[in-house]
Structure 1
Amino acid sequence: MININLLSVSNLPKLNKLRKLELSDNRISGGLEVLAERTPNLTHLNLSGNKIKDINTLEPLKKLPNLRSLDLFNCEVTMLINYRESVFTLLPQLTYLDGFDADDQEAPDSDPEADGDGLEDDYENGEEGEEEEDDDEEGDLDEEVIDDEEDEDDDLEGEEEEDGVDDEEEDEEEDGEDDEEDEADDDLPRGEKRKRNLEDEGEEDPEDEEDDEDD
């Protein structure tokens, strides 16, 4: 909750698991006892840039046993004589004040767990893993589509070949039937063959006509 013109933390909900709270660049001047009541497990608290003027204003923070780091940059309280010694005496659980310990040793890089960096890395790794899985799935889908298209082409080619074979077989069968008919006609006696040819042409045999006249 940085730079939101916050005047107090009286409306802060109960957050038992909260470890790091950023309240810098607001207008908070007191009422820090709420933090002890609603965020009992704080380890890092940033109150820099607020309206805190007196050491006594920080006294409620004594009830935060896990508080390790406190930032009060740009607060008027930092201008007091013996400011650092007074704060370390008031809050013995503190390790770092404004980024330095009691021996003026600078604090190491921020705690990944407190900053949520570990969670952020896990989240980013999870996203990357999901993107890779999505890419793999897309690649598999593309391969399946290509395989399906190839199978369809093969099926079409197979059907065309089968159609061609069927047509050739039908032509061969028809030719065979014609040949059989011709061979059968050749086996007929000459007169019978002539009669059949005339019947096919729609003409009558003259001999039949003569027989009719005799009758």
Structure 2
Amino acid sequence: SPAPSALLPLFRGSSPRHPRLAPARGGREVKELVLDNCRTDDGKIEGLTAEFVNLEFLSLINVGLSTVSNLPELPKLKKLELSDNRIFGGLDVLAEKLPNLTHLNLSGNNLKDISTLEPLKKLEYLKSLDLFNCEVTNLNDYRESVFTLLPQLTYLDGYDQEDKEASDSDAEVDWVDDDDEEDEFDEFDEFDEDDDEEDDAEGDDYEYDVSGEEEEFGHDGEVDDDDDEDEDEDDEDEDEETDIQRSHTEDEETGKGEKRKRETDDEGEEDD
């Protein structure tokens, strides 16, 4: 199955300053799209269309945007990065085209008044808003005013109303839905099964290698009965050879004794 996300550009015969996306290569399957530092044509990125219906993360940092009116409808988009552009207003289209947006980064744009943020009230799921390096942050009671204007907001510039910094889990969006998680776990299960099969195969090889030893020593490290019998026979043969040798030695000693006795008797007779 295709990857659930992709970091593109999907360029086709184009330069980084004038990208041409090729959604035909799988626009419906893309969930993450990064086009930072590209250049737009009159506020448009050719090929960035509503065909990216499953897109959840879009990054357009420093692409020269002055308006967001040309963004396509992306109903599943959750996080939008628009920092370091020239946007000065017109944010009302965000709620129309990106109704499920939860994280919005507008840092480094030309936003000067709290009123320019009022259209964001319609983004009912908006959880985090970043406005670093915008003139609006220099206003008195800036943070209090924004939280009052946008009650659905949890974090402004990375901190909540009590100046507590957002945790990593809160600052990031969980891009993987339940179906994708199940697919990932299925893949892990497949990997585990493959590992088990490899372990089993290695175990079979080991058993095969030591089979010769089992024939010699028998099961459970015991010596086979046939080997016992062979060893017993060898021991008996050795005992027989030892008995024969001992018998020959005794006979020789007996013969020698009798000979010495006869010689002694003969000497006695001569003396008589």
TM-score by length of 1: 0.55
Q: Matches of 2:96 and 2:181 in 1, distance apart? A: 31
Partner of 1:109: 168
* Alignment of 1:38 onto 2:97: yes
Partner of 1:91: 150
Measured at CA, do residues 35 and 97 of structure 1 come closer, stay the same or move farther in structure 2, by a change above 3 Å?
same
Query: Is the contact made by 2:62 and 2:83 (CA closer than 8 Å) also made in structure 1?
Result: no
Shift, 1:116, TM fit: 2.6
Post-superposition Cα deviations, 1:122-152, rounded to whole Å, max 9, x if no partner, equal 9988888888999999xxxxxxxxxxxxxxx
Say which of 61, 78, 88 aligns to 2:120. 61
Query: Is the contact made by 1:5 and 1:27 (CA closer than 8 Å) also made in structure 2?
Result: no
SS in 2 for 1:86: helix
Partner of 2:64: 6
Give the structure with higher Rg (CA). Answer: 1
Measured at CA, do residues 30 and 133 of structure 1 come closer, stay the same or move farther in structure 2, by a change above 3 Å?
farther
Q: Which runs of 5+ in 1 are unaligned?
A: 138-215
TM-score by length of 2: 0.44
Shift, 1:4, TM fit: 3.3
Query: Is the contact made by 2:128 and 2:171 (CA closer than 8 Å) also made in structure 1?
Result: no
Q: Matches of 1:113 and 1:122 in 2, distance apart? A: 21
Measured at CA, do residues 51 and 93 of structure 1 come closer, stay the same or move farther in structure 2, by a change above 3 Å?
same
Q: Matches of 2:106 and 2:68 in 1, distance apart? A: 11
SS in 1 for 2:101: coil
How do 1:1-215 residues align onto structure 2 when only pairs under 5 Å count?
A: 1-7=59-65, 8-111=67-170, 114=173, 116=175
Query: Is the contact made by 2:158 and 2:171 (CA closer than 8 Å) also made in structure 1?
Result: no
Identity of aligned residues (%): 68
SS in 2 for 1:105: coil
Shift, 1:23, TM fit: 0.9
Shift, 1:75, TM fit: 0.7
Q: Matches of 1:128 and 1:16 in 2, distance apart? A: 30
Moved over 6 A (4+): 117-137
Query: Is the contact made by 1:71 and 1:98 (CA closer than 8 Å) also made in structure 2?
Result: yes
Shift, 1:24, TM fit: 1.1
Post-superposition Cα deviations, 1:146-202, rounded to whole Å, max 9, x if no partner, equal xxxxxxxxxxxxxxxxxxxxxxxxxxxxxxxxxxxxxxxxxxxxxxxxxxxxxxxxx
Q: Matches of 1:112 and 1:100 in 2, distance apart? A: 10
Query: Is the contact made by 2:61 and 2:81 (CA closer than 8 Å) also made in structure 1?
Result: no
Query: Is the contact made by 1:16 and 1:39 (CA closer than 8 Å) also made in structure 2?
Result: yes
Q: Matches of 2:188 and 2:112 in 1, distance apart? A: 47
More helix by share: 1
Greater relative contact order structure (CA < 8 Å, 6+ sep): 1
Query: Is the contact made by 2:102 and 2:127 (CA closer than 8 Å) also made in structure 1?
Result: yes
SS in 2 for 1:60: helix
Q: Matches of 1:95 and 1:126 in 2, distance apart? A: 35
RMSD across aligned C-alpha pairs, in angstroms? 3.7
SS in 2 for 1:56: helix
Q: Which runs of 5+ in 2 are unaligned?
A: 1-58, 198-272
